Amino acid sequence: MLRTNRISGPGASGRTVLLLGTVLAAALLTSLPASASDASSLNWELNLIGGYDGDRDWTTATSGAAMGAPRNSAGLEYYSRLADEGGDFLTVDVQLRVSHDPNADDGEIGIELHNAWAEYKLGLGRNLVAGHFSPAYGLESVTDTHATLLQTLVAWDLGFKKDWGVGYRGILGPYDLSAAGQLGSGMGIGIDDGSFLASAQLWEPPGDEFRYGLSLLAGRVLPASGAWALPSPEFADVAVTKLRAGAAFELTSGSFEWMGEAAAGTNDGDAVAGALLQVGYVPPRVQELTLEAQGRVWSADLENSNARRSAVLACASYRLTRSWTLRAGAHAELERPGADGDAGITLQAYYFGG
């Protein structure tokens, strides 16, 4: 169950200080003189989302079939690559937004903190990263879905996309290697009941038409009552022990792009597994248009058919200008625990630019 009055680890005030410190660091970084940075950018972001649920009522809520999809929000991303006489040595990315969630239990407005990391180059293709970033696991580690209607499997699988911690990125023979040690608490900062998250992954480098990745993950993950950084979510008293092995791929073939992933393991000893397959098509004569379709299935307990979730989704994206993208999506959640399936249509206008 979720706690209501006990918070361990850094404490509510401590977590707030850490999060506000991240925001302050971003503001300070934007004031660096241009000569100290080889490349930097500050972009503004706006998400306008609405749609119709299965009862044909207008809604701004995110469907369970699109778990992890963005909400109505406004925010920014600051990116900077710092250099000295020896070349680039530090990359910083801070991405946050104020969002509206009509389904939130305590208030409807909060701050989401997505990328909030600094990566230091050790040389010879070796990097250290610290902050809030994706675990070294699954498609999400190589695919940015923070503003898209179609999501990867990670929200159903882990319950969050990014976590607080430290990581290593390097090269192992012909593969890109990444590993991370994180808190296991997602968007909020929480430490309780031995919580942690350790992950490692090998990917073929980008460039080929086909590449694949293999992942391992182990941890004790704290379920949370919300997905905001501020106000801080309420965490469960008991962490869930998660063990995973996963595989993923990306394939480009002409005007088609395929991607997929599969994962299997245990949650507190119960066998779990899931898979995702997605295909995208860009018409050769209309390069601004992308058509996508996806199927997803996840079972939180393979011995219990009522613990299975499955969904099919489709999306059309049109790049109206360099900064504006319009999307229309349809989803049908075929199965979900304890309820009938859900269906609906989602419309999105997305702005990202300086």
Q: Is there a domain that residue 3 lies in?
A: no
pLDDT at 300: 93
Q: Is there a domain that residue 282 lies in?
A: yes
CATH of the domain at 178: 2.40.160.10
Burial of 24 (C-beta count, 10 Å sphere; 0-12/13-18/19+): exposed
Token couple for 35: 């000569």
Which residue numbers in the chain have pLDDT < 50? Answer: 1-24, 26-36
- At 209, which amino acid appears? E
Torsion of CA 83, 181, 273, 345, to 10 degrees: -50
pTM for the whole structure: 0.87
Mean pLDDT of the chain: 87
pLDDT at 124: 87
Q: Is there a domain that residue 1 lies in?
A: no
How confident is the model over 13-55, as pLDDT tens digits? 444 444 444 444 544 444 444 444 568 999 999 999 999 987 7
Q: Is there a domain that residue 62 lies in?
A: yes
Q: Is there a domain that residue 4 lies in?
A: no
Alpha-carbon gap, residue 36 to 246, rounded angstroms = 40
Token couple for 102: 């009509």
Alpha-carbon gap, residue 333 to 2, rounded angstroms = 26
Alpha-carbon gap, residue 354 to 44, rounded angstroms = 6
Q: Is there a domain that residue 5 lies in?
A: no
pLDDT at 136: 98
pLDDT at 228: 84
Q: Is there a domain that residue 2 lies in?
A: no
pLDDT at 90: 95
Token couple for 225: 């009552």
Structural domains of the chain, count? 1
pLDDT at 38: 63
Structural domain range at position 267: 11-353
